[in-house]
Amino acid sequence: MPFGPLEIGIVLLIVLVIFGPKRLPDLGRSLGSGMREFKDSVTGDSKNDDKELPASEKAEPVRSEKSDATPAGRQSS
């Protein structure tokens, strides 16, 4: 059963009343990006996965070691 223009208009009016005119653009952006991510995950399209970091930076991150660190709030005597 397809929706007619009257039903779509009523739904859009209800959404406008619930979310308000200031939040509608953010809602549309987040819905669009979510649909795009879903489509990319279903099709296996990973455009941004390998192009962001060069191969040398994909290695395991270097962890810094703290020597003689005292817990916050305590002072050494």
What is the distance between the alpha carbons of residues 16 and 40, in angstroms, rounded to a whole number?
29
Please give the DSSP secondary-structure letter assigned to residue 65.
-
* Inter-residue contact 19 to 27 (CB < 8 Å): yes
Q: For residue 58, what are the CA distances in angstroms to 2, 4, 39, 65?
A: 49, 51, 25, 21
Q: What string of H, E and C letters represents the secondary structure of 5-48?
A: HHHHHHHHHHHHHHHCCCCHHHHHHHHHHHHHHHHHHHHCCCCC
Question: What pLDDT does residue 51 have?
Answer: 52
In this predicted structure, the answer to whether residue 18 has a pLDDT above a threshold of 80 is yes
pLDDT digits 0-9 by tens, 28-73: 999 999 999 999 999 887 665 555 555 555 555 556 655 555 556 5
